[in-house]
Amino acid sequence: MAHIDEKPSENILELDNITKYFGGIHALQGVSLNIKRGAIIGLIGPNGAGKTTLFNVISGFIPPDKGIITFNQKVLNKLHPHERSILGIGRTFQLPKIFSNMSVIENVIIGLLQNSNDFSACKEQAKELLKEVELDSFSEFSPKDLPIASKKKLEICRALATAPKLLLLDEAISGLTPKETLEMVDLIGTLSGRGLTIFIIEHVMKFIMNVSQWVIVLNHGEKIAEGTPEDISINETVIEAYLGRKE
Amino acid sequence: MKKIKLPNPLLIFMIILGILPLLSSQHFYLHMLTLVFLFAFFSEAWNLISGFGKQFSLGHVAFFGIGAYVTGILYADYGISPWIGILLSGIGGIVLSLLIGFATFRLRAFFFALSTIACAEALRVLITYWRLGSTGLGTTIPAAKGFKYLTFSNEIYYTYLAYVLLLLAVAAAYKITKSKIGYYLLATGEDEEAARSLGVNTYRIKLIVFAISGFFTAVGGGFYCMYTRYIEPSMVFSIDFSVQFAVFAIVGGMGTIAGPILGSALLVPLSTFFRSWIGGLFTPIGFFSYGIILIVIILFIPGGIMKLISLVDEKFFKKLPIPEK
Amino acid sequence: METFIQLVINGCLNGTTYALMALGLSIIFGTLGLINFAHGDFIMLAMYGSIFISLFLRVDPYVSSIILVPLFFLFGIVVYKGLFKRLLDAPEESQIIATFGLSFVFQFGAMLAFSTDYKSISTSYSAEVLHIWGQYIDYPHIFSSIVALILIIILFLFLYYTRIGRAIRAVSEQRKGAMMIGINVHRIYAIAAGVGLCCVAVSGIALSTYESVHPTIGIHLNLLCWVIVVLGGIGSLIGTIVGAVVIAMMEVMVGYYFETTLTTFAYFAIFLVILMVRPNGIFGIKERKA
């Protein structure tokens, strides 16, 4: 495909012809895409387009029926989710999956333990990480009572604790207030500045257009377009499938 | 978190329990204590995988029964010392737990519970078929005297052996909850998908803890068979045992170290009271009320006794169980 | 070959009664999402009910359904309001233990009321055997499976063609969605519990015509029903029926070709193997995220 040539730098993640059926329905249909190292990529599409399924395929929770997933020149297909995490794929979930019976800091420690056995060192590191997302004052609290924005941040923080190279964010800002959204945009910018590759699913078009450098559009399990945010916002097919629905 | 203070309440609690057998030499009192310790031990073992790891097993009687049968048969039929037998029981428990875990750990919550019942029941039927096919009778453990054959004339020895078992289980639970495995186990129990996304091999964690739990339960099964001196498949593989292990932990407080002990201390005497003091004729009334008590406890104190205690005295007991419960 | 056909017939006949028993559970579990570990004891109570009513009024056990079915419908509503409703949002383990407590209450309540003796009734057709195409089939089994079949058909008609039945299905598919379109969820739950227990009542009656009852029979029946429902796939009524026939077949075959003691082993083994291959049961449709 033509777009491969347009991207000179090395790809951190390559999907080739990923296909997944759920009881006869095509959840994903021959999806191929490449993620550039260090980029922020947006994944958009109407409800049920297969965005979360694609994330689950990348992070290993759903095995694809067909296709090859390559991460850092390594074929991932046969690896379990935890092995992919160890290789450097971190993720968040559409509805934050926080360990709600543990304290905020313990949530982060679980992530840190992947690369360390030293609890006191982990604790210090966890405090540092929490400071970055401005949750350090809640570290001994139960995350149950945190507002949704803080839960999302905690989940990102927890994923960061595993020292990922690629971070998959499933709806990082849905349900956030405008102010919280701005904070999240900042956070994502900071992380990207450190060389982390970020792949974001989002419903809010404006957000994705502001944040990402490259946008991929899914519809009915198929990739219907990809390009710079500017190109996508004027792409006929995309407008028809997605923007035309009037947000 | 002030770390140094953590073990104190638990340690004090265990020391108090250790003194209890010395308070009276009455046979019935000691017998009751033995049962309390023993069932607290079983419940503690169950609590490891089902309380901390939230893998709700209703088939723990499989380990119990295997333990009882390995020790019992080796001794009754081959004259092998029960001390060795109990060790082999433990190994049997580990092997069985790995088999059951392999077959069932990929199933979601309630299916797992049901599958563990299925495993235990299948085992019960197999052992019944194997042992009782010809005679139709259970196995009586011969009463040879002496330490070598785990036979004592004074009840207090059994009581302290049960206490030692409980101490081991509590120590193991304490150690685990303070370790990486413990953290991973809690994470797995809370949300398996999230744990996996953070690099936790949840399947392996569950297998390890299940094996530890199975080991303890089987060892206890071996001890139990030497204590009661009679085994029969329908008895030592009865689903009632599995339920009891769970009930004690739930009533005391699942996912806490002290919970199973408190539950057992409350319910063992209660059910023995129903069974023996009210008299054989009225046994059904006892179990009838037991059922009602269970329902009431589940409906009105869902967190168990530990929850009540933590509500009453948050400061003192908050650190008694493991992290944040 | 002749024995094989005979075994298949027996398996089918047992299977339909099993199916009815398990459908009661399937409806309650599917609709309320509640794990009821006292299901077998409800069946046990229905068997006692059938025996006592028919002895007392000197009627055929099936006639006793005129009293027993409405009674069990009410029973279902009462149990829902008294216990199930409070357990709906409780964790699974609490549901299991609480309904286990209920099972204790029923079991030992039955022991107090009826003693531990085995009880059975004989009907005019108890010993009659139908000899057809070289096969011998006893009438109690024929009648029970005909009745079960009729009730299964009525149940399906009810669930698919009545307003309440459709509401029950809607609720079992999506609780929140149903609430949004204005269905009174608690009323539907109560009715579902009642309908579930109606199935239990009829299956208890059918069972009592050829099986003797004792207070602890429920433990076995409970596990049997759960195995069937899970095997067939949660939420699939057809699956429940298939599961019932599979289990009944297994029982008959293993009992004949191997050893009666091993029948229980066989169906638990089959249960485990099928769940290993298909973790959601044979007809489990809901694709769950791993």
Supply the pLDDT for residue A246: 45
Question: Which residues from C are below 8 Å from B121, CB to CB?
Answer: 223, 264, 268
Q: What whole-number distance in Å separates Cα of residue A224 and Cα of residue A234?
A: 13
Report CB contact under 8 Å: A23, C289: no
Selection from A43, A59, A63 nearest residue A51 by Cα: A43
Supply the pLDDT for residue A2: 42
Selection from B314, B189, B321, B178 nearest residue A109 by Cα: B178
Report CB contact under 8 Å: A101, B325: yes
| Residue C287 touches partner B, C-beta closer than 8 Å | no
| Residue A195 touches partner C, C-beta closer than 8 Å | no
- Could you give the dihedral angle defined by the CA atoms of residues A106, A112, A113 and A118, in that order, rounded to the nearest 10 degrees? -90
Report CB contact under 8 Å: C289, A56: yes
From the candidates B61, B271, B294, B300, which should be mutated to test the interface with C, based on the most C CB atoms within 10 A?
Answer: B294
Supply the pLDDT for residue B276: 64
What does the domain layout of chain A look like in residue ranges? 3-94+166-245
Q: Which of residues 258-287 of C touch A (CB under 8 A)?
A: 285, 287
| Residue A80 touches partner B, C-beta closer than 8 Å | yes
What's the whole-number mean pLDDT along residues A14-33? 88
Supply the pLDDT for residue B84: 93
| Residue B108 touches partner C, C-beta closer than 8 Å | yes
Supply the pLDDT for residue A5: 46
Q: Which of C287, C289, C290 sits opposite A23 (nearest CB)?
A: C287
Report CB contact under 8 Å: C285, A23: yes
Report CB contact under 8 Å: C290, A22: no
- The chain A residue lying nearest B325, using CA atoms, is A101
Report CB contact under 8 Å: C105, B298: no
Per this entry, what is the length of chain C?
Answer: 290
When pLDDT is cut at 50, 70 and 90, the band that residue B315 belongs to is: low
| Residue C289 touches partner A, C-beta closer than 8 Å | yes
Determine the longest span between alpha carbons in chain B, in angstroms.
Answer: 62
Supply the pLDDT for residue B270: 81
Beta strands in chain B (DSSP E): 139-140, 230-231
Report CB contact under 8 Å: B187, A99: yes
Report CB contact under 8 Å: A110, B200: yes
What's the whole-number mean pLDDT along residues B120-127? 90
A111-138 confidence digits (pLDDT tens): 999 998 888 899 999 999 999 888 888 8
Supply the pLDDT for residue B229: 87
Question: Which residues from C are below 8 Å from A56, CB to CB?
Answer: 289-290
Question: Which residues from A are below 8 Å from C279, CB to CB?
Answer: none
Q: Indicate if the pLDDT at residue B210 is higher than 70.
A: yes
What's the whole-number mean pLDDT along residues A25-35? 89
Bridge partners of A13, per DSSP, are A35, A71
Place of tokens 């000179």: A8
Q: What whole-number distance in Å separates Cα of residue A2 and Cα of residue A9?
A: 15
What's the whole-number mean pLDDT along residues B4-10? 60
Q: Which of residues 172-201 of C touch B (CB under 8 A)?
A: none
What's the whole-number mean pLDDT along residues B161-168? 95
Selection from B320, B270, B274, B321 nearest residue B297 by Cα: B270
When pLDDT is cut at 50, 70 and 90, the band that residue C153 belongs to is: confident
List the chains bordering chain A where 3 or more Cβ pairs fall under 8 Å.
Answer: B, C
Rg from Cα positions in chain C: 19
Question: Helix B109-135 vs helix B239-252: angle between axes, to the nearest 10 degrees?
Answer: 140
Q: Which of B50, B121, B284 sits opposite C264 (nearest CB)?
A: B121
List the chains bordering chain C where 3 or more Cβ pairs fall under 8 Å.
Answer: A, B
SS3 content of chain A, % helix, strand, coil (to 5): 40, 25, 35
B170-194 confidence digits (pLDDT tens): 999 999 998 999 999 999 999 999 9
Report CB contact under 8 Å: C102, B119: no
Q: Which residues of B279-311 are buried (b: 16+ CB within 10 A; e: fewer)?
A: eeeebbbbbbbbbebbbebbeeeebbbbbebbe
Instruction: Count Cβ–Cβ pairs < 8 Å, chain A vs chain B.
Output: 79
Bridge partners of B231, per DSSP, are B139
DSSP SS3 for A14: strand
When pLDDT is cut at 50, 70 and 90, the band that residue B146 belongs to is: confident
Q: Indicate if the pLDDT at residue A87 is higher than 50.
A: yes
When pLDDT is cut at 50, 70 and 90, the band that residue B206 belongs to is: very high
A41-63 confidence digits (pLDDT tens): 999 888 878 899 999 999 999 99
Fold for A3-94+166-245, please state it.
Rossmann fold (3.40.50)
Supply the pLDDT for residue C289: 34
